[in-house]
Structure 1
């Protein structure tokens, strides 16, 4: 397979920590699922970003960043000794249309390792062409690699399920996109990279035995509570669990103001992880109709549409599982559970952001009216919630605590009316305690587009300090970090001119 890409011979990396803890993981399903593929080496590889916190969580040696063999492995310049790297095949719906066969076009799986956090798959993104590259070069550029590295860890810091990023390596090798850029490779980490599209692939091709093998693998490896179920009951239960996890994930995205940008079925994780960071964005000024992906000309993946798109994608997964479930009624019941799970999760998230510990009938209207007011004045989403948290805490001993929040609105009388309702709803809740809880719920720091852009500009000039500094701050986004106070400020005007698309 590697000869078709005219690759040079790739040396092996004899890393004891890799070989001693290696597990076949997804590759155990066989060549119908995992196509043996070697990486294409890059010249003059160097470290761009190293995630020390994740290294420790995985139980890798402290000196891994000093190991040349590790640098070679994570760049695709060396193979795991006596192991087969592979690309997986999947299909999917892209922007609502059936796209047919897709696959890991620029992702190469190293396999899985046993860690203190359980079995974790390692995947290189940008290590060269695969059988599924569809005339692409299989590369990733420095710009998009830094964005994914930081975004993965920002989501983890926020407590949102996500794939992780262990490191980024770079090379002076040229990659042509809208302009000539330099190459980079991200090492991604997750218990599994199985997507809705994996199921769609085998179902669409009538490969029912493979479809069943995939579903059984996912259940046994990742949903052990379902192992005792047999036949259609098992696969219906799997669909229900994926639906519940997806509903919870959508509530977390919406609550923090995260826009994915390209919610195709091949970018949806069956584990309910945030997967594939392409044209993502965290909201600056609140706009429910915000489209972060400049390739999304119809606004299919606008912020407010994400929950409904997730539901649509779940129906595609349900359709793919129908050969194993047989009857529509149980499959529909599993999918329909989303209609209760998502609103309940969303309500709970928003109550927590408001410091409310119990449920009242008017809570949803209180939130909806607030968002309407924020939309009207394009109030900065993250700054508002953080200032509100501080105001609630300070209102225990200050009559002017809400002035910094009020200052965010042009129509201050609208905010004043809402705030009166909000304080009545808080009632006798101890303000200090409520504010402290809100400060642990509403982050001070997010990966704003302009911060990522500044880090990228410095990295292109050979300075990777801001990448590492941002990583440390985003790992603890609820803390103060006085040295980096400016990173919690309103976005500058030029931030709105940053365009992000599917190109990377």
Structure 2
């Protein structure tokens, strides 16, 4: 990989843990620890993204090389680099968890290409000082899900980390998939993730919690200097601008999550990126039945803290924790509080515009709030597939009758026989208002449909689709990974050859492990 331009800004400019052993421990006065990946016994490349390779400066031919295999499986270390794991803390499910850190992620290096900087990180490459009682490894099922989902999100237009490669380690890993006392050996795997950096809200929380205020100041200024160079002014003003920028980027990310029906499942502060990109794809899922109370995470099944409808509120809560972490640098609560307050007012305004655009409504009217609220209510009267409903909505024309409109979206209902009586009346009332609203739009049906189809995806990575690819991959068949990868590169296109994937979740997937809810087990 001769064109990889190595840049080690993070390790060159920030304090390192002086202890270079690999024993789990509490790390103080440092933001990272040097660590080497565990060497896999027999690595094998399953899939690699040529697009992401090109993004970071790796040629298509180099993907096929032994150097690529060895580097991104953790078997060999790139010249002039020292891999490291980051130290950070976090709030998990609303509770302070103290030191967490990269327990199963190892940053290989930063690279520079076309004036952009990228961090290359291996997930599942072995133990670090932050692994606690875990082994730092990952299994095939979680790695397939992460690899595919990051790329699916990117092509949906959602800010996200990227996936460079997916490899088998050749080793078996012991996991208890449901945490019910039935562990079993699974195939080990490693994903190479790519992002501007993997710095989290919890990185700042760690420094403030330990009263390492000089390190907090230096670390914040490092982030501004390298990732937000447009921020200028006096130090205090820069810190506030940094927080405002992170809040704005976070708001934009959550808005896209709600637009496509994505549920992260583990919105802990250690899983929130300062870049406003989606990181740490664990027990995520796409909203199939439109249910704002749904969470894909078995650990969250009781309190549903990270349910779909609560993601904006949790984002704001997490930003409160970041504000608390930055407070010692600013020593004024009011300007931070103003940013936090504006987060939600701005989100509500953006959400309204976004939701209306999903409906094909591009001019504002005084009754639009009622139109949105009424739809959110009627969507929950009977199980209705979010993706199929909004995609089919674009086929409706201004001259359609209410009955014709309902006919055009009826295949989004999971239990069609329920659409009768009061439920059918509710749908008729909503469509009567909606059709009248469409008549006030100047766009032709054709132009409106085109704009709606650029906002409402036809294809998303439903959990059952991932599970089918995982089951096949476990048998050594990687063709479905490749098929889904190609499908999800064009999620807004019709792609008639893949029409079979434009379908509701099958009945067999309703309660199947890996298809309905998932644990954090990897």
* TM-score strictly above 0.5: yes
2:432 corresponding residue in structure 1: 420
1:181 corresponding residue in structure 2: 186
C-alpha separation in 2, matches of 1:399 and 1:308: 37
Deviation larger for 442-451 or 169-178 = 169-178
Please report how far the alpha carbon of residue 408 of structure 1 lies from its aligned counterpart in structure 2 after TM superposition. 3.9
Q: Secondary structure of 1:250's partner?
A: helix
Contact 2:34–2:84 at 8 Å: present in 1 too?
Answer: yes
1:34 to 14, 32, 39: 32
2:105 corresponding residue in structure 1: 107
1:436 to 433, 437, 450: 450
Q: 1:370 to 1:210 in 2, by over 3 A?
A: same
Establish whether residue 230 from structure 1 lines up as the match of residue 234 from structure 2: yes
1:363 to 362, 368, 377: 368
Establish whether residue 387 from structure 1 lines up as the match of residue 372 from structure 2: no
1:446-465 paired onto structure 2 within 5 Å:
446-465=460-479
Q: 1:361 to 1:398 in 2, by over 3 A?
A: closer
Q: 1:117 to 1:344 in 2, by over 3 A?
A: farther
Please report how far the alpha carbon of residue 100 of structure 1 lies from its aligned counterpart in structure 2 after TM superposition. 0.3
Q: 1:392 to 1:276 in 2, by over 3 A?
A: farther
2:181 corresponding residue in structure 1: none
Name stretches of at least 5 consecutive residues in structure 2 with no aligned partner.
17-29, 177-183, 414-418
Contact 2:118–2:197 at 8 Å: present in 1 too?
Answer: yes
1:17 corresponding residue in structure 2: 3
C-alpha separation in 2, matches of 1:472 and 1:413: 41
Establish whether residue 153 from structure 1 lines up as the match of residue 148 from structure 2: no
C-alpha separation in 2, matches of 1:216 and 1:47: 39
Please report how far the alpha carbon of residue 413 of structure 1 lies from its aligned counterpart in structure 2 after TM superposition. 2.4
Please report how far the alpha carbon of residue 391 of structure 1 lies from its aligned counterpart in structure 2 after TM superposition. 2.5
Please report how far the alpha carbon of residue 82 of structure 1 lies from its aligned counterpart in structure 2 after TM superposition. 2.4
Please report how far the alpha carbon of residue 57 of structure 1 lies from its aligned counterpart in structure 2 after TM superposition. 2.8
Contact 2:8–2:81 at 8 Å: present in 1 too?
Answer: no
1:324-383 Cα shifts (integer Å, max 9, x gaps)? 011111111121111222111211211111111111122122112111111111200000
Establish whether residue 502 from structure 1 lines up as the match of residue 506 from structure 2: no
Contact 1:87–1:104 at 8 Å: present in 2 too?
Answer: yes
C-alpha separation in 2, matches of 1:318 and 1:414: 44
1:208-247 paired onto structure 2 within 5 Å:
208-226=213-231, 228-247=232-251
Please report how far the alpha carbon of residue 392 of structure 1 lies from its aligned counterpart in structure 2 after TM superposition. 4.0
Q: 1:404 to 1:250 in 2, by over 3 A?
A: same
1:65 corresponding residue in structure 2: 63
1:194 corresponding residue in structure 2: 199
Contact 2:119–2:196 at 8 Å: present in 1 too?
Answer: yes
Contact 1:39–1:128 at 8 Å: present in 2 too?
Answer: yes
1:103-155 Cα shifts (integer Å, max 9, x gaps)? 00010001111123711110000100001100210001000000001110111
C-alpha separation in 2, matches of 1:153 and 1:231: 37
Contact 2:395–2:408 at 8 Å: present in 1 too?
Answer: no
Q: Secondary structure of 2:298's partner?
A: coil
1:341 corresponding residue in structure 2: 346
1:277 to 264, 275, 281: 281
Deviation larger for 456-465 or 481-490 = 481-490
Contact 2:6–2:111 at 8 Å: present in 1 too?
Answer: yes
RMSD of aligned alpha carbons: 1.7
C-alpha separation in 1, matches of 2:439 and 2:6: 56
The number of residue pairs the alignment matches comes to: 486
C-alpha separation in 2, matches of 1:198 and 1:390: 47
C-alpha separation in 2, matches of 1:426 and 1:225: 42
1:12 corresponding residue in structure 2: none
Please report how far the alpha carbon of residue 225 of structure 1 lies from its aligned counterpart in structure 2 after TM superposition. 1.6
1:292 corresponding residue in structure 2: 296
Q: Secondary structure of 1:274's partner?
A: coil
2:91 to 90, 93, 103: 93
Establish whether residue 317 from structure 1 lines up as the match of residue 303 from structure 2: no
Contact 1:50–1:468 at 8 Å: present in 2 too?
Answer: no
Please report how far the alpha carbon of residue 34 of structure 1 lies from its aligned counterpart in structure 2 after TM superposition. 2.3
Establish whether residue 248 from structure 1 lines up as the match of residue 233 from structure 2: no
Please report how far the alpha carbon of residue 397 of structure 1 lies from its aligned counterpart in structure 2 after TM superposition. 12
1:4 corresponding residue in structure 2: none
Q: Secondary structure of 2:379's partner?
A: helix
Deviation larger for 44-53 or 81-90 = 44-53
Q: Secondary structure of 1:113's partner?
A: strand
Name stretches of at least 5 consecutive residues in structure 1 with no aligned partner.
1-14
Please report how far the alpha carbon of residue 401 of structure 1 lies from its aligned counterpart in structure 2 after TM superposition. 5.6
